[in-house]
Amino acid sequence: MAETKGFKQDMVVSIRYRNDLPPPPMPPKFLDIDTGGLAQYLTTSYASGLAKREEPNIEVDAEGGMPIDMIGVPGYFLGDESAIMAPEVQPVLDPADQALLMSLDQLKSQGAKNNVSFLRKTQYMTSSQMARASDAFMRPGAARTPKPQAPKAPPLPVTRDDPENIKRQIQKGFDLAYPDSIPFNPPEAKANPITPQDREAWRNPVHPDNPRLKPVEFYPIIPDLETGTDMASNWQALKFDKPPLPPYKGRRDDRIDVGLLMASENAALMPAWRAAREAFEREPEKFADPGPEPYTWSLSVPKHPDSTSRIRQLFDDSNPQKDDPALIEPLLEESADGSLRLPFERVRVYPKATQDTVDPHRIMALSLVDTNNLPRHSRFRKQGNAAYYYPILERVKMRADRGNLSKTHHNNAEDDIPDQVMVLFKEPNAKEKRSRAEFRGDYDPSFKDEFDELTREARAEEEAEHADLILQEQGPLHEGAQDVNMAEVGDGETAEVSMNGIPRKDRADDRNTPPPPMNGNADRRDRSGDGDAEAEDDGYGEDEDMRDD
């Protein structure tokens, strides 16, 4: 029988997940890579010894801490890698943990602590000094016992889109730009801490895309509250596929700046849109959103080519000459009703338009205002140089249907679009003034008193219109009728009347009073056979018209 001999077998380490790289497409020619030092790490004995010496002290999941299946990561396949990236805004660090971020140089520069006796400088100590040190009442800090403080809860980490973080970032920007105003901030105005990087970026701003660009001038970015309306002060950004107007005298035709863009219902596409809308509202998970309603857009501009400057002066409320009749009279023409109006002619029809809703908090339009280029009466002079922003709610791309432009006069659907619009100017009433100032009244504290006055005027005007409507429905008062107010009516409901010396209440409050007679004739009910005697006992006598009904 053969004698069995023992042999040494090293532990075999197998790789669970192999990802062998393919060989290079071409052999290396000029690369001389020294791989001799790696030979000792490629043997099985080294791996066995490493596994025996070093015990694993970490716990990982089945995927080794690196998720391989990316299907469960939200937004990863849509191009959003924020779920696997570090957050842009780091969580707020507790002040007690600030020492963990100190560098080695900062730790070394602190010097020796006072409670380390062998690092103190050499000195002679007398018996009095030692007695003073041993006496608890002689030590300056011995009598003071620190009060226990309740541990503060660490602040919750915030994200970039958190409303509280946005307000703190805005306040930090104001504190950084106007440091003199920090002592006057209200108590509720809290800002994020200003870092040295923020101060350096404020002193030396750098363009995010082109570092070679240097700032020429600085403008404060503020909202233009006076242009806000009751539609939440949202604007539309219009884009035309081709210039809507040809050049005029070798330059851009500026009538487009004061043009009228009107939208009318597209009768050809509206039935299909309504059907798609109903299907989407009924089963939103099955049908797609059809989007906004299809409209046919028409563009009209002033008839006179050189009328833009006059119209701009007319629309400028701060212009003292805006009510001058000589400003607009040369542009007026007689309309069908005989009044003088400003003519606008239709120049383009856009049967199709692409409407994309955007976030007005991220997409805005900026208007740079320089006081040196403003007239003396401009309302922007009070603020000075500034950049006014206008929130964009929707982007509209106009596409002219060239094939249907020649058929506009033969298409019944487009015959409803007017070829000419006659505009009549008038002063806004109280309700229109209040509607225009609603957005500013909600956000401008300095405008509160004026906005309250506009609200009272609008309410009084609405009540007057309601009263006129009631009078029109009632018609003229007949002879003998008297108009009373609501206060007199309310007082009369609780009053007592006296007839022939006998006080009686109103019939609505007197349940014992019989119902009123029909057709104005007294229905005499003679219980005892003598109707006249009953009438006399009732206190009314023969005058039946004096009853309280």
C-beta of residue 189 within 8 angstroms of C-beta of residue 173:
no
Higher pLDDT, 517 or 443: 443
Same domain, 379 and 240: yes
What does pTM read for this prediction? 0.51
- For 86-92, which contacts have Cβ atoms below 8 Å and span 24 or more sequence positions? 87/159, 87/160, 88/160, 89/158, 89/159, 89/160, 89/165, 91/157, 91/158, 92/155, 92/156, 92/157, 92/158
Q: How far is CA 335 from the centre of its chain?
A: 43
Same domain, 364 and 334: yes
First to last CA, the chain: 138
Same domain, 314 and 262: yes
The number of distinct structural domains making up the chain is 3
Rounded CA-CA distance 323/308 in Å is 16
Q: Are strands 364-369 and 352-357 parallel, antiparallel or unpaired?
A: unpaired
Same domain, 261 and 334: yes
Same domain, 281 and 410: yes
In a domain, 538, yes or no: yes
The tokens of 27 are what?
A: 């052999």
Q: How much is the pLDDT for 71?
A: 77
Question: Amino acid identity, residue 82?
Answer: S
Same domain, 180 and 236: no
Q: Which domain holds residue 329?
A: 221-425
The tokens of 416 are what?
A: 């409803």
Residue 119's SS3 state is helix
pLDDT per residue over 411-463, tens digit each?
Answer: 554 567 888 999 988 888 998 888 888 888 887 888 889 999 999 999 999 99
Of 458, 454, 426, residue with least CA distance to 440? 454
pLDDT per residue over 208-267, tens digit each?
Answer: 889 899 888 888 888 888 787 655 667 889 998 888 888 888 888 899 989 998 888 888
Contacts of 462 (CB under 8 A, 6+ apart): 431
Higher pLDDT, 439 or 151: 439
Q: What is the DSSP letter of 341?
A: E
pLDDT per residue over 108-142, tens digit each?
Answer: 655 555 555 555 555 555 555 555 555 555 555 54
Domain C-terminal end among 405, 425, 445: 425
Q: What is the mean pLDDT of residues 83-91?
A: 75
Domain C-terminal end among 177, 192, 216: 216
In a domain, 290, yes or no: yes
Same domain, 171 and 282: no
Domain C-terminal end among 403, 425, 447: 425
Q: Band the pLDDT of 153: cuts 50, 70, 90.
A: low
